[in-house]
A and B are shown apart, each in its own frame.
Chain A
Amino acid sequence: MNPAFSVIFLTTLIGAGQGLFLALVAVECGLIGSALATGTALLVRGDAIALLLLVAGLIASFFHLGHPERAWRAVAMWRTSWLSREVIVLPVFMAVVALHGWGHYAGVNLASALGITGVVLCFALFYITAMNYVCIKFLQEWATPLTIVNYTLLGCASGFTLATALAAAMEPSLAPAIARWALILTLAAAASRIASLVRNAGLRPKSTLQSAIGIPHPRIVQKSQGFMGSSFNTREFFHGKTRQVVQGAKWGFLLLAFVMPVMLLTLADAERNGAIAIATFVIQYVGLLAERWFFFAQARHPQNLYYQATS
């Protein structure tokens, strides 16, 4: 597949926003670290940043559409379409995050109830986002439960890294505990992403040129794809990059999304130094952009079997 940058930004930005919200609710419920020392400012500002990331992701997604002005129509087919479900759940989740932040800002007692609702929506959104890819069964690299685990853990890892940076600046007493969870989630995300790399390396495409044109002969060579220029089929499904670039993206994301954040979180005292903590998040986010690019580039669409030779 040719990586779609609008979708890469959508999934990485909302993933970080979702992870950040989960970290905030974990702090709010006392699951992580001690009680908040400086009131709810961390939660209010954290919700604002999470909302900003979600809005940015939503804006990015509009660039994917040929007719963004008709985007509202996408809520129609929620019974069958994961994309439709995502289009519904994302704004609802954004509203809950906004209300959650406002509740803490205004001191309204609803905040914890909204926190729980938000957590449910947040995990639903991770699941729905991933299912957009998992449900296309012939994109074998995507059609695995590991895709769901990866989307969830990668989003959580980057969100918790961002929460570490936020806490280092606003609630230093909380930062070490959040940083520990950022480390655990980054390691878990690395494990599941490496598991999917191993799985995909051993995949054998179910479709072959033989099944594509229905001729069971071992030697078939395409002589013409029917046109000599390009088409939607040659643009949308081929990334056109060399093997080296794709491999570079793979090692790049392993280094930037996992190795460096782990080193910075363990060795560089990211939880005590706000600048290092922010750098950790930025490095990990860039790594996740590369990860998502590779996720697309690695997927081999069966339609490519029909477009192997120009003439």
Chain B
Amino acid sequence: MTQLALVIDLNVCVGCHACVTSCKEWNTSGVAGSLSDENPYGKDPSGTFFNRVQTFEVGTFPDTQTVHFPKSCLHCEDPPCVPVCPTGASYKRESDGLVLIDYDKCIGCKYCAWACPYGVRELDENQKVMKKCTMCVDRINDTSLADEQRKPACVLACPTNARLYGDIHDPESIVSKAIRENGGYQLMPEWETKPANHYLPRRSASAIDNELSSKVEQQRPNSLRATDASSKP
């Protein structure tokens, strides 16, 4: 069983919001119609978004870190939003594990949004139906696109490659490896929703330094490498 997911590396997200704007651009132009905005240039602008980047400060000055934290639907393996839907508009697709909404069946009762602990569902105030991240379902299934283009818009837009996309049920996928090797974690595990999306935790600065310096060392021309004592006779 496939379970598509995003893995977000908090070490390299710089909070540029490119994923937010590319998501909005792709999904507002899609067949399902616009992601409506209200007062976009007015006093209290408001709009429908699938993806947000939030910023947190961790620690006490001067030992603080700024963490940029992208948040979108986590495509839970046990999504609490799905069974509460009275019409069946919200469903989890068996073929790829995506949690999707049939906008034509949605009655806009907002119950699914109440039943999502992460606050990733947003009612479109113009169309009056619930919306959320679809993992760019209309891109990833579009066989007319080249393979490298068949990824969510946010993943393609990310300039630091902080967003990885793949099947977390395939142990050899890029996302499974990233989760395994970097201690990828899920949000609010206390509610047992089993989010498919994972986050890669911040590593300490010294660990990153060591890793970078060893990479630099590897890439140096042989003649400049520090002498390896063991190779000498």
B137 interface residue (CB < 8 Å to A): no
The answer to whether B85 touches A222, judged by C-beta atoms less than 8 angstroms apart, is no
Contact of B60 among A1, A219, A226, A301 (CB under 8 A): A219
Residues of A within 8 A of B80 (CB): 136-138
B166 interface residue (CB < 8 Å to A): no
Contact of B46 among A83, A225, A230, A306 (CB under 8 A): A230
B87 interface residue (CB < 8 Å to A): yes
A80 interface residue (CB < 8 Å to B): yes
A220 interface residue (CB < 8 Å to B): yes
The answer to whether B87 touches A76, judged by C-beta atoms less than 8 angstroms apart, is yes
The answer to whether A215 touches B201, judged by C-beta atoms less than 8 angstroms apart, is yes
Q: Which residue of B lies closest to A66 (CB)?
A: B108
The answer to whether A207 touches B84, judged by C-beta atoms less than 8 angstroms apart, is no
CB distance from B91 to the nearest CB of A (A): 10
Residues of B within 8 A of A81 (CB): 83-86, 111
Residues of A within 8 A of B59 (CB): 217, 219
Query: Interface digits, B90-115 against A, CB 8 Å rule (1 contact, 0 not)?
Result: 00000000000000011111110111
A266 interface residue (CB < 8 Å to B): no
CB distance from B34 to the nearest CB of A (A): 15
Contact of B54 among A73, A139, A237, A306 (CB under 8 A): A306
A84 to B109, CA, bound (A): 11
Query: Interface digits, B42-55 against A, CB 8 Å rule (1 contact, 0 not)?
Result: 00111111001111
Contacts A83-B84, A215-B201, A232-B48; A65 near B187 (Cβ below 8 A):
no
CB distance from A143 to the nearest CB of B (A): 11
Residues of B within 8 A of A307 (CB): 119
Stretch at the interface among B64-72, B146-154, B215-223, B225-233: B64-72
A266 to B150, CA, bound (A): 73
The answer to whether A229 touches B46, judged by C-beta atoms less than 8 angstroms apart, is yes
Contact of B118 among A87, A132, A303 (CB under 8 A): A303
A221 interface residue (CB < 8 Å to B): yes
Contacts A222-B56, A223-B66, A224-B55; A306 near B86 (Cβ below 8 A):
no
CB distance from B47 to the nearest CB of A (A): 7
Residues of B within 8 A of A70 (CB): 87, 105-107
A82 interface residue (CB < 8 Å to B): yes
The answer to whether A66 touches B188, judged by C-beta atoms less than 8 angstroms apart, is no
A212 to B67, CA, bound (A): 13
A64 interface residue (CB < 8 Å to B): yes
A195 interface residue (CB < 8 Å to B): no
Residues of A within 8 A of B58 (CB): 215, 217, 219-220
CB distance from A234 to the nearest CB of B (A): 9
Residues of B within 8 A of A223 (CB): 55-57, 66
Residues of A within 8 A of B88 (CB): 73, 76-77
Q: Which residue of B lies closest to A1 (CB)?
A: B114
**Interface of chain B residues 4 through 57 with chain A (CB within 8 A):** 17, 20, 39, 44-49, 52-57
A207 to B188, CA, bound (A): 7
Contact of A221 among B57, B108, B115, B123 (CB under 8 A): B57
B174 interface residue (CB < 8 Å to A): no
The answer to whether B107 touches A65, judged by C-beta atoms less than 8 angstroms apart, is yes
The answer to whether B122 touches A233, judged by C-beta atoms less than 8 angstroms apart, is yes
B62 interface residue (CB < 8 Å to A): no
With A75-B86, A136-B114, A136-B115 known, 9 other A-B pairs at CB within 8 A are A74-B107, A87-B86, A136-B80, A212-B187, A219-B60, A227-B45, A302-B119, A306-B119, A307-B119
